[in-house]
Amino acid sequence: MAGTRRIGIAGSTGRLGALALRLVAAADDLEPVELDVREGLDLSGLDAVFDATVLDASERLVDAAVDAGVPVVVGTSGWTQERIGDLRDRGAEGIRIVPNFSLGSVLETHLATIAARHFTAVEVVEAHHDRKRDAPSGTATRTAEAIGAVRGFRPATPDEPGRGTIIAGVPVHALRLPGVVARQEIVFGGTGETLTIRHDTTSSDSYSAGILLALRAERQPGVTVGIDDLLGLS
Ligand SMILES: NC(=O)C1=CN([C@@H]2O[C@H](COP(=O)(O)OP(=O)(O)OC[C@H]3O[C@@H](n4cnc5c(N)ncnc54)[C@H](OP(=O)(O)O)[C@@H]3O)[C@@H](O)[C@H]2O)C=CC1
Ligand SMILES: O=C(O)C1=N[C@H](C(=O)O)C[C@H](O)C1
């Protein structure tokens, strides 16, 4: 269709990719093209790519997109600060890595950066469905990094078995259970009080608005993490 932007969708057979495929197919201004990253990385004719695969495939896809000058919205979790730093060093442009597309989750992490100015002790507990392949979640990792950036690196006292994965000085605990979609609690401990910030994903519909916002956003220079800028939060 004239005037539509062609969006390559990698991982369109999976939960997140199938949602993106439906959203893009239903949008008047976007046209979906299903991509199987296992079969090749030809991105010609695409205006942007949406990635919802696994980390290894995601990294290869983003490398190919950087070479081809095609913008990418990455939904796949597991991108480390180090790998994002490598992309920036390569001069990557138009890459947006989104740990979580849901408005409530983005706000939860943002609110945690405010609380982090006032509390020195904090732990994160995330829960996801039992088909999730990675742990801790991309959202919990990003949350811990965002808290760590406010507090400065302060090693958590208990770096020992049974006390979670320490990310940017913050212990992160991961549960994988049937019956759960996604949930995250950020618990701050202070003098005679705790503050808990909790977000519940009850349906993957929560990702829809953020996916479309990211796909329709103007191409950003360099590498952007999250959709905070698109929500007026940064
Ligand atoms: N940012 C966000 O808001 C969200 C992020 N996610 C993240 O998105 C990613 C996908 O999640 P989800 O959709 O639940 O996962 P699924 O397991 O449902 O889907 C994974 C998709 O990746 C494809 N795939 C698997 N291995 C490879 C490979 N080696 N090369 C190419 N493609 C591959 C699968 O294809 P096939 O079917 O052929 O195996 C499938 O299409 C995860 O990292 C998850 O954490 C999930 C939800 C929200
Ligand atoms: O795999 C999932 O389901 C999700 N993955 C993302 C993550 O790792 O944080 C986002 C959301 O929590 C759902």
Residues 145 and 81 in one domain: no
DSSP β-ladder status, 170-176 and 121-128: parallel
The CATH number given to whatever domain includes residue 46 is 3.40.50.720
Residues 124 and 57 in one domain: no
Residues 114 and 193 in one domain: yes
- Amino acid 167: pLDDT: 92
Which mean pLDDT values do the consecutive 10-residue runs of the chain (234 residues) have? 88 98 98 94 96 97 96 96 95 97 98 94 96 96 94 66 89 97 96 97 98 97 97 94
Q: Which-ligand-closest: CA of 226?
A: 1
Ligand 1 center to 187 CA (angstroms):
29
Residues 69 and 130 in one domain: no
Domains contained in the chain, number: 2
Q: Which-ligand-closest: CA of 98?
A: 1
Residues 195 and 119 in one domain: yes
The CATH number given to whatever domain includes residue 185 is 3.30.360.10
Residue-wise pLDDT for 113-127, tens only, equals 999 999 989 999 999
Cβ-Cβ contacts under 8 Å for 1 (sequence gap 6 or more): 31
The SS3 assignment for 176 reads: strand
Ligand 2 center to 137 CA (angstroms):
6
Residues 191 and 210 in one domain: no
- The terminus-to-terminus CA distance of the chain in angstroms comes to 35
Question: How far is C-alpha 17 from the geometric centre of its chain's CA atoms?
Answer: 14
129 is catalytic: no
- Amino acid 157: pLDDT: 63
ipTM: 0.99
- Amino acid 120: pLDDT: 86
Tokens of residue 92, six digits: 């990557």
What is the reported pTM? 0.96
User: What does residue 170 show for φ and ψ, rounded to 5 degrees?
Assistant: -110, 125
Residues 68 and 111 in one domain: no
DSSP 226: S
Closest CA to 154 of 169, 172, 171: 169
- Amino acid 128: pLDDT: 98
Q: Which residues on neighbouring strands pair with residue 128, listed in sequence order?
A: 176, 182
Range of the domain at 49: 5-97+205-231
Residues 192 and 219 in one domain: no
Residues 108 and 198 in one domain: yes
Residue-wise pLDDT for 77-112, tens only, equals 999 999 999 999 999 999 999 999 999 999 999 999
Q: Which of 118, 132, 173, 199 is catalytic?
A: 132
